[in-house]
Structure 1
């Protein structure tokens, strides 16, 4: 199996395309009736789904991976720990899972990009959900020390009340555009169909 397209996506920082690329390769392998090899980039595939915030697909992929491969690939297990923390909404645990493993060079770039994106998502969540939040709680959500979290949110326009140690949230309009990709839906349908038959 030629994984050059996966490597190219990683090299060009096209992390949002990793899951689609790996899903397409997986469908190709399934259509050919070839068993998965030990060199399949399962950790990257799983992290690709996690990166695009598709925890359901990550969970489905994890369940479909043979136990022998899970046992032989500690990086895959470490990637799934991130997925588990997201699944249970243990946002502080996500950062612990990220920092709790010595990632390979190839995977490290994707994990670092996800960590940065996750911090951005958590900041947006805090901004939309709170008008004030303690420095300690914000630090947990952002996976930072209290000092780093305070500096991070101050740069984003929040203010701090030094007496109460509360952060005052500055609301900003967040526009998030959702696009339905019919190609992705078709590939998912074909994949599920193949697994069921």
Structure 2
């Protein structure tokens, strides 16, 4: 499942929910909730959870499991996120999406570690990435991060985050004024 497919799927599920005249099947809610988690759109996930009919929530244990992951994401409790993700055998309905959720959480954690720390314990990196120490130390070295085996300290290298250039308010106002003037002529 690539990102473009997930975008289209999320759009169609949101449209189904908006246009629904009665309760939707549980799998629609499961997929949509999982996609919100994948996107780290925790506000929409929370509002969706509140909109889901109680009988659907209680009749679908997997929906509760997905929401459990979301609650830990909200709290930024990384060890519990991974524990919650891996304590369930996900159905075919959401299995691939939940794997993507784990991957995206791990990628955000790695980015956070690289931006926030110049030196951090291997245990902290393991907790934030959900990886076992031996795998984690190898992954750190593969990323080019320095790892001191004797002290178990990791020295991350800052990941260059692409900055989105934003136009200033003055520029936006100028463009808007220009556009309105054009329309008036």
TM range (shorter): 0.7 to 0.9
User: 1:84 and 1:139 mapped to 2: Cα distance?
Assistant: 20
Is the 2:111–2:159 Cα contact (8 Å) retained in structure 1?
A: no
- 1:164 is paired with a residue of what secondary structure? coil
Does the Cα contact within 8 Å between 1:157 and 1:170 map onto a contact in 2? Answer: yes
Question: Are the counterparts in 2 of residues 16 and 51 from structure 1 also a CA contact under 8 Å?
Answer: no
> Whole-Å Cα distance in 2 between the matches of residues 65 and 134 of structure 1?
41
TM-score of the two chains, using structure 1 as the length reference: 0.78
2:17 pairs, out of 18, 26, 47, with 26
Unpaired runs of 5+ in structure 1?
A: 1-9, 180-197
- CA shift at 1:123, angstroms? 0.3
Bigger CA drift: 161-170 or 75-84? 161-170
| Alpha-carbon separation, structure 2, partners of 1:172 and 1:162 | 22
Among 125, 131, 151, which residue is 1:138 paired with?
A: 125
> Which residue of structure 2 lines up, in the alignment, with residue 15 of structure 1?
6
- SS of 2:120's equivalent? strand
The whole-number CA distance in structure 2 between the counterparts of 1:175 and 1:98 is: 29
Query: Size of the alignment, in residue pairs?
Result: 166
**Where in structure 1 do 4 or more consecutive aligned residues deviate above 4 Å?**
10-13, 176-179
Q: Structure 1 CA distance, aligned partners of 2:164 and 2:8?
A: 17
What is the rounded CA distance, in whole Å, between the counterparts of 2:16 and 2:31 in structure 1? 13
- Structure showing greater radius of gyration is 2
How far apart are the structure 2 equivalents of 1:141 and 1:158?
16
8 Å contact from structure 2 (residues 23, 53) kept in 1? no
- TM (normalized to structure 2)? 0.82
Alpha-carbon contact 1:92-1:140 (below 8 Å) kept: yes
Unaligned runs of 5+ in 2: 167-185
Q: What SS is found at the alignment partner of 1:14?
A: helix
